[in-house]
Amino acid sequence: MCAIAGIISAQADLDFSKGQVASMLRRMRHRGPDGSGLVVRPRCVMGSNRLAQIDAAGGGQPMCSPDGRWILVFNGEIYNHRELRQALLGLWQFTSCSDTEVLLAALIIWGEAALPRLNGMFAFFLWDSRNHCGFAARDRLGVKPLVWTRSAGGMAFASEAKALLEVMPGRPTANVGAVLEYFVAPAFSGVETPLFANMHHLAPGSVLTISDEGIKTRIWWSYDLRQAVDLREDWLAGELHDAIPFAVTRSLDTDQPAAVFLSGGLDSTLVAACAVPKGVTCAYTIGFEGQSQFDYARSIMVKSDDQPFAVEAAGALGLEHRIVTVSRSSLADDLRVLAVQNDAIPAWEQELAQHYLARAAAKDYRAVLVGDAADETHYGYNFTLNSACGGQVTDFLTQLGRAPLARQMEVEALRLTARYEALVAEAGLAGGSPVDRQRGIAHLLVQRWLPRLLHNGDIHTMAHSVEARVPFADTALLDLAVKVHPDLATREGTGKSLLRRAARGLMPETARLRRKSSLPKDDACAQIYQREAGKALHASEGLLGTWLNTSSLRSICAPAHVLTESERALLFRVICFHHWAEVYQVQTP
């Protein structure tokens, strides 16, 4: 696990570029505290900060081929590196035990054909110093990030958007469309484009090439739900039952001990149950002040208190259980920290829980297992299945709440919704049948919601030098999930029905049958949000007014106003936006 950065340019002064790459790496020191390296070649400067997980002595980066032609910087883990190493024996003389060298060898020998053979999470850049061309790629779901920007005669890239600010002139400018999406559909935001203007995400499952012919991107893998037609319930459940423990085992191939984030629900408990036989001994669960007294009856996503379920699951599995208890007294300061960490601007209140859990785990661990990606790939969100949603994008967004927009943004918001509908249609799933609409919403979640979720998981854990590992992103599990007919996954109106059946015998029954409930958030912080949002409005009203109706915002900040769940979430985002814009000195175009 690393931070990677580089500048590729035929025009840039290499000494100046070297200083810029060094500055980018300093901005991302938290991602790799175990060492830093930098390589300079004609037209190319690349560097890496390393969080050593495999072969601390032999896996340093940037890594060069023996003849010096190829240079690789790599962020992530290749879980099947041992099998790939065997396939490459005789074609490559290995000098280390690292997965980085396996990736280097695979890319040199197999080229782009290596990508479908990789099982893991990755973002990398490979430079060919003989032909002066480069090649970058991200894993299937985009667990690991890669952000890039055009520069004179080439490009710069990094693992985090804020690092690229080191190479961009002047104050950063807000991407007006991306910020609008942040307020209209926050769960989808910061995925297609970063919140800073003139930056680009390399999309999940995509490659980028740079040469004298320019910069080109294309998709090498996509999650195609048109395959989701398999109704062989017994066979699919059996295949999943066998594949899940192997996926967890692969994700634990590390020289460092790992812990697990445990909610007591299906996904995290299933991961924990499969991890215990492989040596995982510790679990972390979040705990907010007064959490047991929160009213979950009207909540859209958080349906119950995690703690009793997590305590029961940890006890049944024999895990040391650490409940991370959070004091509300630090919330105002924590919101600022959160907004600085997440340069896509925090979208969910639950990101606070991710921050607190990662901070606690970092005291003893370098890696944690999480249950992310199960809901999106196995139809796990019940609120997408109910009658209020109806399989329509507009209904889906309305359930999650809408921000009061400035008049000039209303038409643009409609265009955003139309783009989401186009994503559904793009997959060939815009038919009128309920099954097609279910597939369509699931496709939208995988294309927009899941990348945002994975981004949050990566950026908040890596802020504390902890690596989040996602067994449900395992390629074997994805190959099975993409085949599952929605009727099997949502039997009797319950999400993840097939996954629940597949988990029988692998985990405690209470957790297996527990109703879906998202990661908790603090339901008793309304007054703090109103106070801090009021301050944000006072300090940043001109900037916020570009997108929002500030009069409406001010009315819900009044202490006498009783916030709804969606209003509280909106104020959370207003506060985070203000801190993001203030810290990074963001301006509008």
Q: For residues 75 and 78, what is the distance between their CA atoms, to the nearest angstrom?
A: 10
pLDDT of residue 358: 98
When mean pLDDT is compared across 33-42, 50-59, 262-271, the lowest value belongs to 50-59
Residue 388's pLDDT band, with cuts at 50, 70 and 90, is: very low
- Tell whether the model's pLDDT for residue 157 goes beyond 60: yes
Q: What does the mean pLDDT of the chain come to? A: 92
Please provide the size of the chain in residues: 589
Residues 6+ apart with CB under 8 A from 115: 137, 207, 220, 221
Q: What dotted CATH number matches 225-399+409-513?
A: 3.40.50.620
Q: How far is CA 380 from CA 5, 297, 369, in A?
A: 36, 19, 19
Tell me the angle at which helices 176-184 and 565-583 cross, rounded to the nearest 10 degrees. Answer: 160
Residue 319 tokens, joined: 């895990």
CATH of 2-219, one of 3.60.20.10, 3.30.360.10, 3.30.2010.20, 3.30.450.40: 3.60.20.10
Report strand pairing: 467-469 vs 367-369: parallel
Residue 500's pLDDT band, with cuts at 50, 70 and 90, is: very high
Secondary structure class of 245 (helix, strand, coil): helix
Q: Which percentage of the chain shows pLDDT scores above 90?
A: 77
Looking at the chain, which residues constitute the CATH 3.40.50.620 domain(s)? 225-399+409-513
pLDDT of residue 290: 84
pLDDT of residue 387: 44
When mean pLDDT is compared across 190-194, 267-271, 277-281, the lowest value belongs to 190-194
Looking at the chain, which residues constitute the CATH 3.60.20.10 domain(s)? 2-219
Check residues 439 and 135 and name the one with the higher pLDDT: 135
When mean pLDDT is compared across 16-30, 96-110, 380-394, the lowest value belongs to 380-394
- Tell whether the model's pLDDT for residue 381 goes beyond 90: no
pLDDT of residue 428: 61
Per residue in 202-254, pLDDT (tens digit) is 999 999 999 999 999 999 999 988 888 888 999 999 999 999 999 999 999 88
Given a contact cutoff of 8 angstroms between Cβ atoms, the answer to whether 217 and 46 are in contact is: no
Residue 255's pLDDT band, with cuts at 50, 70 and 90, is: confident
Per residue in 433-448, pLDDT (tens digit) is 777 778 888 888 999 9
Residue 95 tokens, joined: 């000098």
Per residue in 361-371, pLDDT (tens digit) is 999 999 999 99
Q: Which helix (H) or strand (E) holds 317?
A: helix 306-317
Residue 398's pLDDT band, with cuts at 50, 70 and 90, is: confident
pTM of the model: 0.95
